[in-house]
């Protein structure tokens, strides 16, 4: 074995050029294959004199590594011209499963409600989550010492100001903003959004939840219109057999006010543990917009009247899917959320 043989292979490696993967493979066989040039040198190495073995051995190994690196580099550089040339793939392997996300149940319910009211001709309106006292309370006819204004219920962002900033406790504030913005009826909006209350977290209460507010103002809007709108909504939402019942109630911003129950869609009025045996489920509050509220936002109560309603999304979602603990909606437990993956509507 001569030094020149090694030098010659080095020179050939240096000149090596390949245009396709096939050529790279041929080069690999030529140098490193079973009958390749470098393999042959290794064969020859066995016959080298003992005292030369160390040096030749090292040089040969270096040559082999250089050749391997050159081939690897060419393989990278040439790229694949067709799929059949590419790295071997086992087409019988099972595919990588693709994780499908799903809508959150509260989003599903919000979308359903928005879709129903869009059909009735309502637009969607939004307002800020950090609001001021005026839009959450004052303009909605809350008297100065109403308990809802208490720190117990409301998260204040700033205090000691005549119109402090706070986290809105209901989406009724968006009513006010919409009336201020639109000024001229007819006004028909629904306002979905997040609301905040200083409540201890339990199966039935949370400090953050979602509401949808509705508002309709026009000439000659009556309580009968309100009742009809709610009945149509309830039937779209809970099924065509659904009945509603209205109970007198009180809200500062509506007069008269009512709370609405729907017939229990689980026991169909017979009485079960969801409706606590009554056959009815409470779903929303509503009423005729108080003239003071219209006036505060610059709408003439002599000319116009309207109705408003507000409902909690988590509550509707709980009734719809018979979920008995509100906290499930906030904890992002995948086992819970994945239950809704088939509920995705496209």
Rounded Cα distance between 71 and 21, Å, is 10
Dihedral sign, Cα of residue 179, residue 213, residue 233, residue 106:
positive
Q: Shortest Cβ distance from residue 89 to ligand DAH (Å)?
A: 59
HEC letters along 46-94: CCCCHHHHHHHHHHHHHHHHHHHHHHHHHHHHHCCCCHHHCCCCCCCCC
Q: Which stretch binds ligand DAH (CB under 6 A): 40-48, 87-95, 304-312, 338-346?
A: 304-312
Q: Which stretch binds ligand DAH (CB under 6 A): 52-60, 122-130, 285-293, 319-327?
A: 285-293
**Is residue 187 within 8 Å of residue 217, measured between CB atoms?**
yes
Query: Can residue 226 be called a binding residue for ligand DAH (CB under 6 A)?
Result: no
Pairing mode, if any, of strands 244-251 and 254-263? antiparallel
Q: Shortest Cβ distance from residue 172 to ligand DAH (Å)?
A: 4
- Choosing from 149, 170, 210, 315, the residue that interacts with ligand DAH (CB under 6 A) is 170
Query: Can residue 178 be called a binding residue for ligand DAH (CB under 6 A)?
Result: no
Q: Which residues pair with 333 in a beta bridge?
A: none
Dihedral sign, Cα of residue 6, residue 11, residue 13, residue 18:
negative
Q: Which stretch binds ligand DAH (CB under 6 A): 10-18, 23-31, 120-128, 282-290?
A: 282-290
Q: Which stretch binds ligand DAH (CB under 6 A): 153-161, 235-243, 260-268, 308-316?
A: 308-316
Size of the site for ligand DAH (CB under 6 A): 11
> Residue number with the shortest CB distance to ligand DAH?
310
- Of residues 77 through 136, those in contact with ligand DAH by CB under 6 A are none
Rounded Cα distance between 183 and 188, Å, is 12
Catalog residues that contact ligand DAH under the rule CB under 6 A. 170, 172, 213, 251, 254, 285-287, 308-310
């Amino acid at each position: 074995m001569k030094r020149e043989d090694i030098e010659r292979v080095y020179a050939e490696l240096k000149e090596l050029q390949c245009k396709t993967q096939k050529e790279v493979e041929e080069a690999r066989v030529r140098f490193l294959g079973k009958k390749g040039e470098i393999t042959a040198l290794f064969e020859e190495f066995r016959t080298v004199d003992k005292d030369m073995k160390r040096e030749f051995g090292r040089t040969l190994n270096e040559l082999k590594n250089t050749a391997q690196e050159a081939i690897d580099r060419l393989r990278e550089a040439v790229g694949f011209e067709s799929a059949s040339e590419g790295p071997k793939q086992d087409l019988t392997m099972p595919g990588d499963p693709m994780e499908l996300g799903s809508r959150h149940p509260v989003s599903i319910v919000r979308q359903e409600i928005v879709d129903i009211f869009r059909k009735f001709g309502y637009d969607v309106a939004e307002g800020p989550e950090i609001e001021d006292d005026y839009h959450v309370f004052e303009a909605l006819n809350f008297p100065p010492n109403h308990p809802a204004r208490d720190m117990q219920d409301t998260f204040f962002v700033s205090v000691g100001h005549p119109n402090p900033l706070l986290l809105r406790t209901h989406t009724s504030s968006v009513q006010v903003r919409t009336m201020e913005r639109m000024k001229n009826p007819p006004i028909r909006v629904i306002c979905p959004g997040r609301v905040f209350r200083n409540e201890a977290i339990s199966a039935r209460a949370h400090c953050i939840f979602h509401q949808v507010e509705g508002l309709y103002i026009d000439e000659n809007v009556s309580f009968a219109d309100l009742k009809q709108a709610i009945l149509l909504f309830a039937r779209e939402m809970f099924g065509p057999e659904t009945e509603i019942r209205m109970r007198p109630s009180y809200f500062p911003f509506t007069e008269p006010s009512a709370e609405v129950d729907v017939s229990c869609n689980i026991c169909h009025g017979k009485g079960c543990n969801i409706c606590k045996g009554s056959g009815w489920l409470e779903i929303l509050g509503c009423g005729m917009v108080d003239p003071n509220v219209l006036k505060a936002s610059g709408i003439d109560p002599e000319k116009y009247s309207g109705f408003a309603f507000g409902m909690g999304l988590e509550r509707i979602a709980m009734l719809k899917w018979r979920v008995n603990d509100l906290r499930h909606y906030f904890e992002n437990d995948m086992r819970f959320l994945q239950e809704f993956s088939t509920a995705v509507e496209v």
